[in-house]
Chain A
Amino acid sequence: MHNDFSITGHDLTVQQIADAIATNSAQVGLDETAAAACHASRRQVEAWLGDEAPVVYGVNTALGNLKDTVLSPSEHIAWNSTIPYPHAVGMGHFINPVITRTALLIRANVLSRGYSGVRPALVRRLLDIFNAGISPAIRELGSTGLSDLGPMAHCAMVASGMEGARVFYQGKLIAAREALTLAGLEPRFTLECKEVLAIMNGSTMTQAAAALCINGAGNLLSYLEPIETAQLAAFPDAEELLRFNGSVAAVFAKIKRTIGFETNITCDNPLLFSNGNTYDVAMGCNCSNTQVGYDLDLLAILLSDKAAF
């Protein structure tokens, strides 16, 4: 099937996301150069699963009390088939399915940058689910305050077709496996070493909401423009309005830049960086999307002021 566009991990825009969501039939693929980058870092992960491999924390080990314990490939698969469950917290109403589906696209973009050490097949799996119009069903309350562990664990469950995972598909809330089958996709997908953490770790659900918010807000502001222009003569202080709108435009542009930037970063952990011959692993905290949080607070302030004017 022809792709409308391909993700590279470096240039996905808010507009592309909005257009893909709006058509509901967009087909997004994985750029071949990005696939090669994923393949290269994945080869290193697989080498670390060999018999003589060193301990590589967070990659070939488990977590917590087992952080020093190297697991075999099959042990990783077994662990990955359970670990999303205790992380998949959530209470209250379901998050808007448009947002959860968008998160799949953005997470695929994150992983396609090649620093996460996942298989290209995983990236394509996320895109296949997105392209099929399937949206993870995720209850909205229960944030850890940093990184969307709960919502993204649900996404991992859906990607893998785990028991209990549910989705919205063609207007209905159904089991993920059933939706995947109806969509012509394999109901099960094995998540291998590092691939669960690569999906779960990072603030991608927030990013999905942010991208759709900024697009929607931009649309609202553009709807207002001709209305205000027509009414300018009747406005008590047209010069004041124009100056205020100038501020709104400047602040809005700044927020949009931030959200666009955040769409093309790597937020899972740990990350792999090539050093020429092999890869180094670095453990950080790019799940923390500080700038987006601040700018969304500012967007709320801005829109409230605009509404009041």
Chain B
Amino acid sequence: MDTISNPAFSLSGLIGTAKSICGAASLPADLSATPGARDGGYMPAFVGTVLLLRLQRTASEPTQRYLQALLDARLSPTWRAGASEAAARRGLRSALEGAAGGVLLWEGRQLEASEGLEVASITDSARADVDFDALEAQLDISGALAVHVYDAAHHLFKGADICAAMTLEGIRGETGAFDARLHELGRPYPGQIAAARNVRRIVADSEFTTEDARMEFGGDSGPRCQDAISIRAVPQTHGGGRDALAWFAATLEGSLQQSVASRDMTLDYALDLLAIGLIDLAVISERRSFRMLDSRMSYGLPMNLVAENPGFNHGFPVIQAAAAAVVAEMKLKAPKGRGQGSFSALTGRYVPRGISSSIRLVELMDLLGKVLAIELFMASQAMDLTRRTLPNRAFGAGSAPALAATRTHLPMVLQNRFASDDMNVAEWLIVQGTIVRAVEDAIGRLD
């Protein structure tokens, strides 16, 4: 096996190296499996790999060799999602020791720790000189989780921009709101500029987001000046979240250079800000998907996006209502407007939040993926319904491959069909990177 060399301890270095070890995310063979680490699932291999890379930084030589052996074998220690930090720490130690109760992830499988070490031919002697007490004390669980949060959130921001662009195509929307000058001159926040640029690139050369397409389709009563706020405020709303993500990344970059013991609370605040941004991303996505249900708001698409035999076939209203429900769940996890810190009444000392801030983000991202999945599902239907009326036109440079990638796994809904399975598939396509990869393979890396 190749020896994986440890990166410089920059955020991008850690992410790049961990991803090269874990391999590219791929769809599972069985798309009825539940995406994400929920319902007793385990934390992703990426998190455990980052943990190992971080541990190498301060480990003694025998321990470094042992950690390297785990990395070379692409074994990743993990713990059960939902566990407390103390339980996570015990679980990780057991995984590293090969002790009972420990779990190692390997090639997409969850293995008993002892079995995992055996599969990788890592013998007892390799562990003999490892100081597992010191290792456990140095576990930077919050740091590893924060790296995972950054990477996964960035991915979801890309997904959100793609979903918004696909909705824009489906409703034959107005691209003027994404004019670079509005953002670069009018309100030049970096995140806003990036979100607008992403959407422009995704719908580039679209023959649907044009005035003559709108006229030919016949759903507008006259020239469309501007779309609803859930569309035209995408740069500002997605951009605000992106700016929160950027500050989080800068803060994390600094935190990773510190020891866990000397780390301050700034990262917790950055996680709070990002949580707000992710919730907003879901709110505006749900508003976009809602508008696609109504012919008046979708500029002439069939009510409820029903393709054939309306009344007999039900369409998407209950699917869309699920997005509203998930958004409500997200709002319950919003940082409260006061007192996030915990101070011991007995000692007066600040009690660190530990992994709770990061875990909240992991949970929010899990829910956001579902809301975006519903928008992807509905926007794909809207695009295909629009194309039925305008069959000789082409979608944009990024939105066409996004639709094609979706249709590979999720056919257009023509008749009543089991919704939950479809929604699950759509979620996989969002969280596992299928749609983002399809777009980036076509038009290059998104911001």
**A267-309 contact mask (Cβ, 8 Å, vs B): 1 or 0:** 1000101000000101111101111011101101110110011
**B148-180 contact mask (Cβ, 8 Å, vs A): 1 or 0:** 000000000000000000000000001011010
Stretch at the interface among B181-189, B370-378, B438-446: B181-189
Query: What separation, in Å, do the CA atoms of A90 and B201 have in the docked complex?
Result: 41
- Cβ of B391 < 8 Å from any Cβ of A? no
Query: What separation, in Å, do the CA atoms of A98 and B151 have in the docked complex?
Result: 43
**B320-352 contact mask (Cβ, 8 Å, vs A): 1 or 0:** 000000000000000111111101000111100
**A231-259 contact mask (Cβ, 8 Å, vs B): 1 or 0:** 00001110010011011001100100000
Interface contact B280-A290, CB-CB below 8 Å: yes
Write out the residue numbers on chain B whose beta carbons fall within 8 Å of the beta carbon of A236: 347-349
Given contacts A283-B225, A297-B337, contact A290 B236 (CB under 8 A): yes
Interface contact B277-A294, CB-CB below 8 Å: yes
Interface contact A146-B341, CB-CB below 8 Å: no
Q: With both chains docked as a complex, state the minimum distance between the C-beta of B315 and any C-beta of chain A, in angstroms.
A: 28
- Cβ of B226 < 8 Å from any Cβ of A? yes
- Cβ of B232 < 8 Å from any Cβ of A? yes
- Cβ of A266 < 8 Å from any Cβ of B? yes
Q: With both chains docked as a complex, state the minimum distance between the C-beta of A84 and any C-beta of chain B, in angstroms.
A: 20
Query: What separation, in Å, do the CA atoms of A68 and B266 have in the docked complex?
Result: 51
- From the candidates A246, A254, A294, A309, name the one contacting B276 in the complex (CB within 8 A): A294
Interface contact B187-A237, CB-CB below 8 Å: no
- From the candidates A146, A251, A261, A301, name the one contacting B337 in the complex (CB within 8 A): A301
Write out the residue numbers on chain A whose beta carbons fall within 8 Å of the beta carbon of B222: 67-68
Q: With both chains docked as a complex, state the minimum distance between the C-beta of A5 and any C-beta of chain B, in angstroms.
A: 23
- Cβ of A57 < 8 Å from any Cβ of B? yes
Query: What separation, in Å, do the CA atoms of A308 and B350 have in the docked complex?
Result: 10
- Cβ of A115 < 8 Å from any Cβ of B? yes
Q: With both chains docked as a complex, state the minimum distance between the C-beta of A53 and any C-beta of chain B, in angstroms.
A: 16
Write out the residue numbers on chain B whose beta carbons fall within 8 Å of the beta carbon of A297: 273, 276, 335, 337
Interface contact B273-A294, CB-CB below 8 Å: yes
- Cβ of B88 < 8 Å from any Cβ of A? no
Query: What separation, in Å, do the CA atoms of A304 and B340 have in the docked complex?
Result: 8
Interface contact B341-A254, CB-CB below 8 Å: no
**B222-246 contact mask (Cβ, 8 Å, vs A): 1 or 0:** 1101100100110111011101100
Given contacts A282-B181, A286-B186, contact A300 B338 (CB under 8 A): yes
- From the candidates B187, B277, B339, B349, name the one contacting A286 in the complex (CB within 8 A): B187
- From the candidates B264, B277, B338, name the one contacting A304 in the complex (CB within 8 A): B338
Interface contact A288-B264, CB-CB below 8 Å: no
Given contacts A247-B269, A285-B232, contact A308 B339 (CB under 8 A): yes
**A55-86 contact mask (Cβ, 8 Å, vs B): 1 or 0:** 00110000000011000000000000000000
Interface contact A291-B240, CB-CB below 8 Å: yes
Given contacts A267-B187, A305-B340, contact A283 B335 (CB under 8 A): no
Write out the residue numbers on chain A whose beta carbons fall within 8 Å of the beta carbon of B341: 244, 305, 308-309
Q: Give the contacts of A198-247 with B (CB-CB under 8 A).
A: 235-237, 240, 243-244, 246-247
- From the candidates B233, B251, B269, B337, name the one contacting A288 in the complex (CB within 8 A): B233
Number of A-B contacts (CB under 8 A): 145
- Cβ of A265 < 8 Å from any Cβ of B? yes
Write out the residue numbers on chain A whose beta carbons fall within 8 Å of the beta carbon of B176: 282-284
Write out the residue numbers on chain B whose beta carbons fall within 8 Å of the beta carbon of A298: 269, 272-273, 276
Query: What separation, in Å, do the CA atoms of A55 and B284 have in the docked complex?
Result: 31
With a 10 A CB-CB cut-off, give which of B251, B272, B341 has the most chain A CB atoms: B341
With a 10 A CB-CB cut-off, give which of B186, B225, B265, B277 has the most chain A CB atoms: B186
- From the candidates B181, B185, B225, name the one contacting A57 in the complex (CB within 8 A): B225
Q: With both chains docked as a complex, state the minimum distance between the C-beta of A87 and any C-beta of chain B, in angstroms.
A: 16
Write out the residue numbers on chain B whose beta carbons fall within 8 Å of the beta carbon of A254: 247
Q: Give the contacts of B367-426 with A (CB-CB under 8 A).
A: none
Write out the residue numbers on chain B whose beta carbons fall within 8 Å of the beta carbon of A251: 266, 269
Query: What separation, in Å, do the CA atoms of A247 and B177 have in the docked complex?
Result: 37
Query: What separation, in Å, do the CA atoms of A78 and B340 have in the docked complex?
Result: 52
Given contacts A236-B347, A305-B341, A309-B350, contact A284 B335 (CB under 8 A): no
Write out the residue numbers on chain B whose beta carbons fall within 8 Å of the beta carbon of A305: 339-341
Instruction: Please give me the residue from chain B that is nearest to A146 by CB atom.
Output: B229
Write out the residue numbers on chain B whose beta carbons fall within 8 Å of the beta carbon of A285: 177, 229, 232-233, 235-236
Query: What separation, in Å, do the CA atoms of A262 and B149 have in the docked complex?
Result: 28
With a 10 A CB-CB cut-off, give which of A243, A251, A283, A285 has the most chain B CB atoms: A285
Q: With both chains docked as a complex, state the minimum distance between the C-beta of A37 and any C-beta of chain B, in angstroms.
A: 12
Write out the residue numbers on chain A whose beta carbons fall within 8 Å of the beta carbon of B240: 288, 290-291, 293-294
Interface contact A247-B266, CB-CB below 8 Å: yes
Write out the residue numbers on chain B whose beta carbons fall within 8 Å of the beta carbon of A243: 262, 264-265
Q: With both chains docked as a complex, state the minimum distance between the C-beta of B431 and any C-beta of chain A, in angstroms.
A: 24
Write out the residue numbers on chain B whose beta carbons fall within 8 Å of the beta carbon of A237: 347-350
Q: Give the contacts of A150-209 with B (CB-CB under 8 A).
A: none
Query: What separation, in Å, do the CA atoms of A243 and B68 have in the docked complex?
Result: 34
Interface contact A304-B339, CB-CB below 8 Å: yes
Query: What separation, in Å, do the CA atoms of A144 and B89 have in the docked complex?
Result: 47
Interface contact B179-A284, CB-CB below 8 Å: yes
Query: What separation, in Å, do the CA atoms of A293 and B191 have in the docked complex?
Result: 15
With a 10 A CB-CB cut-off, give which of A286, A289, A291, A293 has the most chain B CB atoms: A291
Instruction: Please give me the residue from chain B that is nearest to A257 by CB atom.
Output: B247
Interface contact B339-A266, CB-CB below 8 Å: no
Query: What separation, in Å, do the CA atoms of A254 and B254 have in the docked complex?
Result: 15
Write out the residue numbers on chain A whose beta carbons fall within 8 Å of the beta carbon of B262: 243
Given contacts A250-B266, A266-B187, A267-B187, contact A240 B340 (CB under 8 A): no
Write out the residue numbers on chain B whose beta carbons fall within 8 Å of the beta carbon of A273: 181, 185
Write out the residue numbers on chain A whose beta carbons fall within 8 Å of the beta carbon of B343: 308-309
Write out the residue numbers on chain B whose beta carbons fall within 8 Å of the beta carbon of A247: 264-266, 269
Write out the residue numbers on chain B whose beta carbons fall within 8 Å of the beta carbon of A146: 229, 233
Interface contact A288-B236, CB-CB below 8 Å: yes
- Which A residues fall within an 8 A CB radius of B? 57-58, 67-68, 115, 146, 235-237, 240, 243-244, 246-247, 250-251, 254, 261, 265-267, 271, 273, 280, 282-286, 288-291, 293-295, 297-298, 300-302, 304-305, 308-309
The 10 closest A-B pairs by CB, nearest first: A290-B240, A304-B338, A288-B236, A284-B182, A285-B233, A305-B341, A247-B265, A265-B187, A57-B225, A282-B179
**Interchain Cβ contacts under 8 Å between A and B, 17 examples:** A67-B222, A67-B223, A243-B262, A244-B350, A250-B264, A282-B176, A284-B176, A285-B232, A285-B233, A286-B236, A288-B229, A288-B233, A288-B240, A289-B236, A290-B237, A300-B338, A309-B343
Sample of 12 more A-B contacts, CB < 8 Å, known A240-B350, A271-B181, A290-B239: A57-B223, A235-B348, A236-B349, A261-B189, A267-B187, A283-B177, A284-B176, A284-B177, A285-B236, A294-B277, A294-B280, A309-B343
